[in-house]
Structure 1
Amino acid sequence: MNKRYITITLALLSLAGYMQNVALEIETDADSAKNSTPLPQKVDILEKYKDKVCEDFEEISMAVKHANETAKLLLKLSETSIDNYSPYFTQNKNKIIYSKKFGNIDLGRFHFTIPSPSKYSDVIEKLWDFDGTQKSDPKFINGHLTRVYAPFLIMMEQSNINQENSSFRKKLALAAKVKQSNDTTVIVCPSRILNYLGEIDQKTNLIEIFEDTRSIETGISPEGALIKLRANIAGYVIKQKNDSVHVTYINSIYDDPRYTESIYDRRNRGMTYSNLLAL
């Protein structure tokens, strides 16, 4: 196992919540692991996008922390009561959209149920199909892949047209698939934007960008954390029940009056709602 696979393996363990203080030991013992065989899925993703793979352990660790923060907040939001939400749209008892506004936050929740617990893995893979491997149409993780930290942790680039000067504005954000338990997975959509406008290649170091990104506060209500974050977040919480698969799509838009970005954010959220209703 070479250094690339060891570094990526550490990131995977961290993303799954099992990270231990063993980084130095594993790096030291790298030569003794040469005969180990990485999992086929790891080889496929890392080889397919080998020109985009990040091998800097510090940056990978910061990306993991960033993704885990978002995943935990999405999970908390999905578990809060809907008592103070307004029904936005109901197709049937299995597909309901709720909305709520507070402060500068426009929060949407789409609840839908698939009446077959055996579909759990299929649903996860369909929602996570960022590169079209599953031939999913439509895709639910959108953007241009710019960096791979691990098979389940990637950086995506998206573009919006700036209404004021008709130019394209690039946006970078992480996407991740985080296993919370054997029956719960959180998919983080590329929505929490990083403040970086340059081009990305293998030599680009984003450590300072992650360091300068506002952290998600803990110890307060999830809605309070959204207000203090002042940024968008979106993602899916997928839970396997005894008789079904329950999915909650969270899409929180920070409506900054200084910019027109929220217009496009709401348009994109509406498109996602339409795609989910068609499932």
Structure 2
Amino acid sequence: MNEAATHLEHHTTTDDLYEVWKENPYFNNIFCIKKHGDTYVQRINLKYYHPQKYNEIINMLWDPALVNYFNPGSVKRKIVRVYNQNLVIIRQRYKDSNFGRWKYFYALAAKIDISEEKTIIVMASANINDGYPSEKEYKNTIVESANLFKIDIDSSESVRKGKWEKTFVNIAGYIVEKKKIIDGHISSNRELSIRKALKKNFHPDE
């Protein structure tokens, strides 16, 4: 997942072609979006002035039961396989409205502690056979090494019968980092910066 973390950091730290979609000074967050090929990249920057909450926020982002705190709409995430405490396979299903159809994806998810003040949580879909009734090829166009990871998943009946719409996430995740506030001079104050990036490909069943 090192390649995935590298791509995630690139999309969250570079400003090329991003347009500000929405800004909320009250909550200290900025939502940006850009078009990249056939997909959209979304990025959210959030400043949180309580650095003592660093570990608590990381645990919240890593906990599948708390996924709705940082995702709009109806979202349900579960861990379906554990390789170690920092590397798992998750299944996430979601819908945009109460009457919308459930969509889902499987992805490798990793929590990488870069330092005591920086953590990356990254997800990327791999070559996972879940019994979905479609001949379409789902290929990660960003994290190419993820395509080499082939695995069979004992999925739910809703997946095997095509009741849920299969989607694919090239890369998604969070970068949580403690930073000094620099405002014309070096300050002793610190902030917690949370950057989120999401890049999806959707493949509706036709």
The reply to whether TM is greater than 0.5 is yes
Aligned to 2:81: 147
When Rg is computed on C-alpha atoms for both structures, the one with the higher figure is: 1
Aligned to 1:237: 175
Aligned to 2:36: 102
Specify whether residues 88 and 215 from structure 1 end up closer, same or farther in structure 2 by C-alpha distance, changes over 3 A only.
closer
Aligned to 1:74: 8
* Alignment length (residue pairs): 159
Aligned to 1:112: 46
Specify whether residues 154 and 137 from structure 1 end up closer, same or farther in structure 2 by C-alpha distance, changes over 3 A only.
closer
| Counterparts of residues 58-207 of structure 1 (less than 5 Å) | 67-81=1-15, 84-92=17-25, 94-130=28-64, 132=65, 136=66, 138=68, 142-159=76-93, 171-189=105-123, 191-198=124-131
The alpha carbon displacement at 1:98 in A equals: 0.4
Secondary structure of the structure 2 residue equivalent to 1:76:
helix
Aligned to 1:251: 198
Q: Percent identity?
A: 27
Specify whether residues 168 and 254 from structure 1 end up closer, same or farther in structure 2 by C-alpha distance, changes over 3 A only.
closer
Superposed CA RMSD in Å reads 3.3
The alpha carbon displacement at 1:129 in A equals: 1.2
Matched residues in 1 for 2:144 and 2:110: separation?
20
Specify whether residues 247 and 86 from structure 1 end up closer, same or farther in structure 2 by C-alpha distance, changes over 3 A only.
same
Specify whether residues 254 and 119 from structure 1 end up closer, same or farther in structure 2 by C-alpha distance, changes over 3 A only.
same
- Contact 1:157/1:173 (CA < 8 Å) preserved in 2? yes
Matched residues in 2 for 1:170 and 1:96: separation?
26
Specify whether residues 180 and 170 from structure 1 end up closer, same or farther in structure 2 by C-alpha distance, changes over 3 A only.
same
2:143 to 212, 216, 224: 216
**Structure with the higher strand share, 1 or 2:** 2
Specify whether residues 160 and 119 from structure 1 end up closer, same or farther in structure 2 by C-alpha distance, changes over 3 A only.
closer
- Contact 2:40/2:199 (CA < 8 Å) preserved in 1? yes
Secondary structure of the structure 2 residue equivalent to 1:260:
coil
- TM-score of the pair, normalised by structure 2: 0.64
